[in-house]
Structure 1
Amino acid sequence: MRLGLALPTFGPDARPEGILRVSRTAEEMGYDSLWTGDRVLAPLVPGAPYPSADGVMPRVYENHMDPLVALTFAASHTTRVRLGTSTLNGLWQPPIMLARSLTTLDVLSGGRLSVGLGLGWMPDEYAAVSVPWKGRGARLDETLDVLREYWTSDVFSHEGPLFTIPETVVGLKPGQRPGPPVLLAAFTPSGLRRIGRRLDGWLPVAMPLPALMGMWDVIRKAAVEAERDPAALHMALRVNPELTDSRTDPERMPWAGTIDQYIDYARAAAEAGVHELFVDFGQTPATLAERIDLAGRFIEGVRRG
C-alpha cells in the first residue's frame, strides 16, 4: 500500500517554507504522495454544516492556498512523489480552463499528478464563484467529458447542455497518457456507480473498514456492469486523525485515537486491499515540527508492520 501525506496548505503553516519542508522531508522519509485540498471561502456562518460529528468547519480553513499552485511549488522541490488533490472542487471553473491547468501541472511535474475531484459541501462557495449548486452531477459529467476530449484529441470541439467549446487544436499533452488519473470523492449510491462507470478511482475518508470495503464493492460492481476492469481502479483513502494521549475504545476508531492506533488502522487497511492511504496531520493542533515528527513515526510504524 502506498502512503501519502497532506501538504500544509491550510492554517498557519500554509507558507512557502512549510510546503518546502514537508515536501522534501516526505520524499526523504519514503512517502509516495503529497496531497492538497480546496477552499475559496471561510464564512462566519456557513450555509450548511461541515460534514463532521460536530458540524463545525475547522478554523485552519480560514487560511487557504490555491491547491494547484501549491502543488506546482511542491513539484519544483521534489522528484519522485506523486501530487494529488483531495479534493479539488472541479466545478468552480469552466472545464476548458481546468483542463489547461491540470495539463500544465502534469507536464511541469513530469507526469506525477493525480486529480482528485469533489463536489464540495458548502453552497456559499458555489455562490461566490457564480456556479449553480443544483445540477452538480450533470455538471461533473460534462466536465469529465471535456477533460477526456482535451487530453486525447489533437483537435476537438464540444457542445453540451452547459458548455460550448469551438473547434481548437490542443498541442500541449499531459505527461501521463491518455491523461492523469481522475478520482472522485463520493459516497452516495449514484456517486459510487459513477466512479465505477467512468473514473479511475475513489477518494474515500477514513471509516470502519467493513463499511469502506462494502462501498468499494459497489464501485467494482458498477465497473463490471460498464464492461470496465475493476482491477484497474485505485482507492486512495484520506485519514484525518484526531490524536489522543491514551488509547480510545475500538469503536471510536478511525475518528479518534493514538498514533499507534492509526498505525494499526493503516496496516489493517492494507490487508483489506486499500491501494493508498494518506494522512493529514494539519487538522490537529500540532506545530509544523510536530507534524513532521508524527509523519516520521507514522510511516515507520506502518512500514515496520
Structure 2
Amino acid sequence: MQLGLALPTFGPDAHPDGILRVSRTAEDLGYDSLWTGDRVLAPRVPSAPYPSGDGKMPRAYENHMDPLVALTFAASHTTRVRLGTSTLNGLWLPPLMLARSLTTLDVLSEGRLVVGLGLGWMPDEYTAVSVPWKGRGARLDETLDVLEGYWSGDVFAHEGPLFTVPETVVGLEPHQRPGPPVLLAAFTPVGLRRIGRRLGGWLPVAMPLPHLMGMWDTIRREAEEAERDPADLRMALRVNPGLTESETDAGRMPGAGTLGQFIDYARAAAEAGVHELFVDFGQTPATLEERIDLAGRFIEGVRRG
C-alpha cells in the first residue's frame, strides 16, 4: 500500500514555508504522494452542517489556498511524489478551463497529477461561484465528457445540455496518456455506479474497514457490468485523524484515537487491499513541527508493520 500526506493548504500553516517543509519532508521520508483540498467559502452560518464530527466546519478552513496552485508550487520543489486533489470541486470552473488547468499541472509535474473530484457539501459555496446546487450529478457527467474529449486528440468540440465548446485545436497534451487518472469521492449508489462505469477509482474517507470494502465491492461489480476490468480501478483512502493521548474504544475509530491506533488501522487497510492511504494531520491541533514529527512517526510505524 502506498502512503500519502496532506499539504498544509488550510489553517495557520498555509504559507510557502509550510508547503515547502511538508513537501520536502514527504519525499525524504518516503511518502508516495501529496494531497490538497478545496474550499472557496467559510460562512459564519453555513446553510448545511459539516458532514462529520459535531457538524461544525473546522476553523482551519477559514484560511484556504487554491489547491491546484499549491500543488504546482509543491511540484516545483519535488521530483518524485505524485500530486493529488482530495477533493477538487470539479463543478466550480467551466470544464474547458478545468481541463486546461489540470493538463498544465500534469505537464509541469511531468505526469505526477492525480485528479480527485468531489461535489462538496455546502450550497453556500455554489451560490458564491454562481453554479446551481441542483443538478450536480448531470453537471459532473458533462464535465467528465469535456475532460475526456479535451484529452482524446488534437481537435476537440463539445455540445451538450450545459456547455458548448466550438471546435478547437488542442495543442496542450497531458503528460499521462490518455490523461491523468480521475478519482471520485462518492458514497451514494449513483456515485458508486459512476465510479465503476467510467472513472479511474474511488476517494473514500476513513470508515470501518468492513463497510469500506463492501462499498468497494459494489464499485467493482459496477465495473464488471460495464465490461471494464475492476483491477484497473484504484482506491485512495483519506484519513483525518483526531489524535488522542490515550487509546479510544473501537467504536470511536477511525475517527479518534492515538497515533498507534491509526498506524494499526493503516496496516489493516493494507491487508484488506486498499491501494493507497493518505493522512491529514492538519485535522488535529498541531504546530508545523509537530505535524512533521507525526508524519515521520506514522510512516515509520506503518512500514515497520
TM over 0.5, shorter chain: yes
- CA–CA distance in 2 between the matches of 1:249 and 1:39? 32
Does structure 1 residue 11 correspond to structure 2 residue 11?
A: yes
Provide the residue aligned with 1:133 in structure 2: 133
Does structure 1 residue 227 correspond to structure 2 residue 227?
A: yes
Provide the residue aligned with 1:20 in structure 2: 20
- CA–CA distance in 1 between the matches of 2:143 and 2:54? 33
Provide the residue aligned with 1:44 in structure 2: 44
Q: Which amino acid letter does the alignment assign opposite residue 68 of structure 1?
A: L
Q: 1:231 Cα shift?
A: 0.4
Q: Which amino acid letter does the alignment assign opposite residue 149 of structure 1?
A: G
Q: 1:182 Cα shift?
A: 0.1
- CA–CA distance in 2 between the matches of 1:122 and 1:178? 33
- CA–CA distance in 1 between the matches of 2:18 and 2:156? 41
Q: Structure 1: any 5+ residue segments left out of the alignment? A: none
Q: Deviations over 1:153-204 (max 9, x none)?
A: 2101000000000000000100100000000000001100100000000000
| 1:249-268 matched pairs, under 5 angstroms | 249-268=249-268
Provide the residue aligned with 2:185 in structure 1: 185
SS in 1 for 2:9: coil
Does structure 1 residue 282 correspond to structure 2 residue 282?
A: yes
| 1:158-177 matched pairs, under 5 angstroms | 158-177=158-177
Q: Structure 2: any 5+ residue segments left out of the alignment? A: none
Provide the residue aligned with 2:146 in structure 1: 146
Q: TM-score, normalised by structure 1?
A: 1.00
Provide the residue aligned with 2:85 in structure 1: 85
Q: Which amino acid letter does the alignment assign opposite residue 60 of structure 1?
A: A
Provide the residue aligned with 1:118 in structure 2: 118
SS in 2 for 1:291: helix
- CA–CA distance in 2 between the matches of 1:226 and 1:304? 39
Q: 1:109 Cα shift?
A: 0.3
Q: 1:152 Cα shift?
A: 1.0
Q: Deviations over 1:32-56 (max 9, x none)?
A: 0000000000000001000013100
Q: Which amino acid letter does the alignment assign opposite residue 227 of structure 2?
A: E
Q: TM-score, normalised by structure 2?
A: 1.00
% identity of equivalent residues: 86
- CA–CA distance in 1 between the matches of 2:284 and 2:257? 12
- CA–CA distance in 2 between the matches of 1:53 and 1:24? 31
Q: Deviations over 1:85-144 (max 9, x none)?
A: 000001001000000000000000010000000000000000000000000000000000
Q: Which amino acid letter does the alignment assign opposite residue 110 of structure 1?
A: E
Does structure 1 residue 291 correspond to structure 2 residue 291?
A: yes
- CA–CA distance in 1 between the matches of 2:67 and 2:53? 26
- CA–CA distance in 2 between the matches of 1:84 and 1:104? 14
SS in 1 for 2:166: strand
Q: Which amino acid letter does the alignment assign opposite residue 9 of structure 1?
A: T
- CA–CA distance in 2 between the matches of 1:263 and 1:285? 18
- CA–CA distance in 2 between the matches of 1:156 and 1:205? 35
SS in 1 for 2:156: strand
- CA–CA distance in 1 between the matches of 2:74 and 2:24? 8
Aligned pairs, number: 305
- CA–CA distance in 1 between the matches of 2:4 and 2:93? 27
- CA–CA distance in 1 between the matches of 2:128 and 2:53? 26
Q: 1:283 Cα shift?
A: 1.1
- CA–CA distance in 1 between the matches of 2:276 and 2:226? 24
- CA–CA distance in 1 between the matches of 2:286 and 2:102? 31
| 1:60-79 matched pairs, under 5 angstroms | 60-79=60-79
| 1:204-215 matched pairs, under 5 angstroms | 204-215=204-215
Q: Deviations over 1:239-282 (max 9, x none)?
A: 00000000110121101000000000000000000000000000
RMSD of aligned alpha carbons: 0.4
- CA–CA distance in 2 between the matches of 1:253 and 1:50? 19
Does structure 1 residue 248 correspond to structure 2 residue 248?
A: yes
SS in 2 for 1:162: coil
Q: Which amino acid letter does the alignment assign opposite residue 158 of structure 1?
A: H
Q: Which runs of 4+ in 1 moved over 6 A?
A: none
